[in-house]
Structure 1
Amino acid sequence: MRKYELKARAESQRETRDRIAQATAELHQEKGVARTTVAEIARRAGVTRPTVYNHFADLSELLPACAAHYERLHPVPDFGSVLAQEDAGERVHGVLARLYGWYRETEPMYGKLFSDRASVPELDRFLEQNVDRMLDGLGLELAAGFAVRGRRADRLRGLIRLALDFWTWQRLAREGLDDEAAADVMGAAVATSA
């Protein structure tokens, strides 16, 4: 009997953690991290504030759970097949087209996250360790496909990183470009500078 009770308790705790992570993700998408309070998270999750703190001592513990919940619903694109293409310019265009489509899908969340990062140190660290690291890795992989060295390589890496940036996509989208056209523009800029 005791084993069953422990298992039921663990399942209940997991469900509570999941509700808190879901509530947090919803609020971060609606209001941003900087404007979301623990009281609002607790209310939305149907728990008390102390329960939130019992499961997540602080924001640095809550952000990974929130992100995991959100990414199950909005997974990062798989770039494998695009990165396997022979032509470096086609690789850049393919990565940008997939990334820009994902940015469009996740704009309500990531627009707020990237805006809040300057005022929320825990969020800045989290984005640095996750999203920035992913984009830096993609940038290095894309730049490696071009046969340039020295200062040209440095400029090319900078341009690729600019092309991968959320704010670049958002600016192009606000100018009326769809994701494919935005990928064409930035892909051509990268290919021309190589």
Structure 2
Amino acid sequence: MDSTRQRIVHAAVALHGSVGPARTTIAGVAEKAGVTRLTVYRHFPDDEALFSACSSHWRGQQQLPDPADWSGHSDPLERLKFGLSDLYRFYRDGEAMLTRIYADKDALPKGHREDLETRDAYFRDVLCEPFSQQDRTGRLGAIMGHAISFWTWRSLCHDNWLSTRMRLKPCALWSP
């Protein structure tokens, strides 16, 4: 039974990473896993349960960004450099899956969509934290929100030829 469940999860991960969650069907997962749709539903009663298992499995294979490490840098520019380098490394390593997840964000189960939004807000807040309270509102918050966006990373590295292996240097993004 565990091997069947694993085959189903692996099939869901493969489909989410190739066609995206919005175009992944239970029938497609069943076919790729070599089981019936009924077998998929026996292991995962709904799309959210399957998506949760798929997400957990994929994340378990990744080196996730670690905002706790970023917080070890009290200098705002160093934290920015360290945090964005760590986050952009994660985006580079998980690009295929993340492209499809973010493209299909509106089709994700509500809880997972909210988790992505909460996580992104947390990344922004950790990067803004060493700046003064006055600096954190308005423009700096908007700039940090843009900087941590997966789509910003894609734009920098794919549309504008910035190396995907870049190491960020501190810059004065917030200066008047």
2:21 is paired with a residue whose SS is coil
Q: CA 1:77/1:67 → structure 2, altered by over 3 Å: closer, same or farther?
A: same
2:96 aligns with one of 81, 101, 108: 108
Cα offset, 1:189, TM superposition: 4.8
Q: 1:97 aligns with which of 75, 85, 96?
A: 85
Structure 1 ranges of 4+ moved more than 4 A: 179-182
Unaligned runs of 5+ in 1: 1-11
Q: For this pair of structures, how many residues does the alignment match?
A: 175
Report the structure, 1 or 2, having the larger helix content. 1
* Secondary structure of residue in 2 paired with 1:74: coil
Alignment deviations for residues 65-100 of structure 1 (CA, whole Å, 9 cap, x no partner): 001111111231233333201211110111101111
Q: 1:40 to 1:81 in 2, by over 3 A?
A: same
Determine the C-alpha separation between the residues in 2 that align with 1:90 and 1:59. Answer: 41
Task: Give the alignment's Cα RMSD to 1 decimal.
Answer: 2.1
Give me the whole-angstrom Cα distance separating, in 2, the residues matched to 1:70 and 1:121.
Answer: 15
Question: CA separation of 1:96/1:180 partners in 2, compared to 1, >3 Å: closer, same or farther?
Answer: farther
**Structure 2 residue 146 is the aligned partner of structure 1 residue 158:** no
Task: Tell me the TM-score normalized by structure 2.
Answer: 0.88
Residue type of the partner of 1:69? Answer: H
1:36-185 mapped onto 2 (5 Å cutoff): 36-118=24-106, 120-122=107-109, 125-129=111-115, 131-149=116-134, 153-174=137-158, 175-179=160-164, 181=166, 183-184=168-169
CA contact (8 A) 1:97 1:179 kept: no
SS in 2 for 1:188: coil
Task: Specify the alignment match of 1:3 in structure 2.
Answer: none
Quote the Cα distance in structure 2 between the aligned partners of 1:114 and 1:19. Answer: 24
Cα distance in structure 2, aligned partners of 1:76 and 1:98: 9
**Whole-angstrom distance in 2 between the partners of 1:22 and 1:69:** 8
The answer on 1:24 being equivalent to 2:12 is yes
1:79 to 1:180, Cα distance in 2 relative to 1, 3 A: farther
- 1:21: Cα distance to partner? 1.2
Q: TM-score, normalised by structure 1?
A: 0.81
Identical residues among aligned pairs (%): 32
1:127 and 1:183 map into 2 onto residues whose CA distance is 28
Q: Structure 1, residues 145-169: CA drift from partner, whole Å, max 9, x if none?
A: 101417x623211211110000000
Aligned in 2, Cα 1:139/1:86: closer, same or farther, shift over 3 Å?
Answer: same
1:89 partner letter: L
Displacement of 1:25 after TM fit? 0.5
Question: Is the radius of gyration larger for structure 1 or structure 2?
Answer: 1
Match of 1:35 in 2: 23
Is contact 2:70-2:126 (8 Å) kept?
A: no
Unaligned runs of 5+ in 2: none
Aligned-partner residue type, residue 139 of structure 2? R
Contact 1:79 1:95 in 2 (8 A): yes
Query: Cα–Cα, structure 1 residues 189 and 35, in superposed 2: closer, same or farther, change >3 Å?
Result: farther
Could you tell me how far apart the structure 1 residues matched to 2:71 and 2:164 are?
A: 18
Give the residue type in structure 2 aligned to 1:31. Answer: V
